[in-house]
């Protein structure tokens, strides 16, 4: 099956990031969706930009977008579909912080095969497709590459100081996380926002990212694609591979562990039995 180029997905992400930054510059008001989570005009405009761009690339492939789902627009997931979070980290965006992202992923047969994650403030861009993961830096305003995209690779094996673990700032302090960290043995712990945790694993900055608790598929799919392209992967809490579209129409993942390499995966499988 033909797929679009990573450059084409990067261009769409940059267009969406540019729209987000316009809203940030002129000011906005945060609203609440039915589930109580925040949403802004930036989320909505960015998703409209992405939907238009993806339709132009692949008119017959449906898009599952966070804001569309919130409005009740849920197309049927077939063999191929787009999984999109136009602004992952809306709370950070509303608070004036910088680690929010644009997430675009192509799903085939339940697995993310292409993905782009953009940080609009810094212009950092992570992208992946089978056998190739890249990181570059772009000027969000005109789309110029400020740093040429370079290959990234997930970490290989266990570091001598113990596993390097990313844990969510909001969901990483519970009993399940504590039990998991105790079970994996010596480790160091760091924090990062939104889908960046997958990308930091993909570039070799950490080894494990456990998430205990529900998360939407569009929060994970693009980062998962980048990590898989870099040599890592993601498993559910029952140690089976994480697949997408099986929980429609709510698109919830009931926890997962992202890992950088097979040694980390083996350690995870053992820890999840405790």
Task: Check residue 173 and give its pLDDT.
Answer: 56
3-state class (DSSP) for residue 36? coil
Contacts of 221 (CB under 8 A, 6+ apart): 83, 103, 105, 107, 112, 115, 244
Lowest mean pLDDT, pick from 19-33, 107-121, 131-145: 19-33
Distance between CA atoms of 163 and 141, rounded to whole angstroms? 38
Mean pLDDT for the chain overall: 92
What's the CA angle centered on 186, arms 180 and 190, to 5 degrees? 75
Is the domain spanning 163-272 CATH 3.40.190.80? The answer is: yes
Is 70 exceeded by the pLDDT of residue 255? Answer: yes
| Res 59 pLDDT > 80 | yes
Higher pLDDT, 99 or 247: 99
Per-residue pLDDT, 30: 72
Domain 6-151's class?
alpha beta
Q: Is the pLDDT of residue 44 over 70?
A: yes
Same CATH topology for 6-151 and 163-272: the answer is no
**pLDDT at residue 174, as a whole number:** 78
pLDDT number for residue 249: 81
Q: Which two tokens stand for residue 95?
A: 């608070």
Alpha helix ranges (H) inside the chain:
6-26, 41-57, 66-70, 90-94, 175-184, 196-202, 217-230, 262-272
| Span 60-107, pLDDT tens digits | 999 999 888 888 888 888 899 999 999 998 888 888 888 899 999 999
Task: Give the residue-averaged pLDDT of 139-158.
Answer: 94
Domain boundaries of the chain, sorted by first residue: 6-151, 163-272
pLDDT at 11: 97
| Residue that the structure tokens 């085939």 belong to | 108
CA torsion through residues 171, 134, 239, 245, sign: positive
């Amino acid at each position: 099956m033909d797929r679009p180029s990573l450059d084409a997905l990067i261009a769409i992400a940059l267009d969406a990031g540019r729209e987000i930054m316009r809203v940030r510059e002129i000011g906005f008001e945060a609203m609440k969706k039915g589930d109580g989570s925040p949403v802004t005009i930036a989320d909505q405009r960015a998703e409209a930009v992405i939907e238009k761009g993806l339709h132009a690339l692949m008119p017959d492939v449906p898009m599952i977008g966070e804001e569309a789902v919130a409005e009740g627009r849920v197309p049927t997931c077939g063999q191929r579909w787009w999984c999109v979070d136009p602004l992952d980290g809306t709370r950070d965006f509303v608070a004036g912080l910088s680690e929010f992202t644009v997430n675009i992923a192509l799903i085939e047969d339940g697995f993310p095969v292409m993905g782009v994650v953009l940080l609009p403030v810094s212009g950092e861009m992570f992208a992946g497709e089978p056998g190739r993961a890249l990181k570059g830096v772009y000027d969000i305003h005109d789309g110029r590459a400020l740093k040429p995209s370079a290959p990234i690779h997930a970490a290989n094996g266990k570091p001598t100081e113990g596993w390097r673990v990313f844990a969510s700032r909001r969901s990483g302090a519970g009993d399940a996380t504590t039990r998991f960290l105790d079970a994996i043995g010596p480790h160091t712990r760091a924090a990062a926002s939104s889908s960046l945790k997958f990308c930091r694993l993909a570039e070799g900055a950490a080894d494990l990212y456990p998430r205990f608790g529900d998360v939407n598929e569009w929060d994970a799919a693009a980062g998962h694609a980048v990590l898989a392209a870099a040599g890592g992967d993601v498993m559910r809490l029952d140690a089976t591979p994480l697949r997408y579209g099986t929980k429609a129409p709510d698109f919830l993942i009931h926890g997962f562990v992202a890992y950088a390499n097979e040694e980390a995966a083996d350690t995870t499988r053992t820890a999840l039995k405790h």
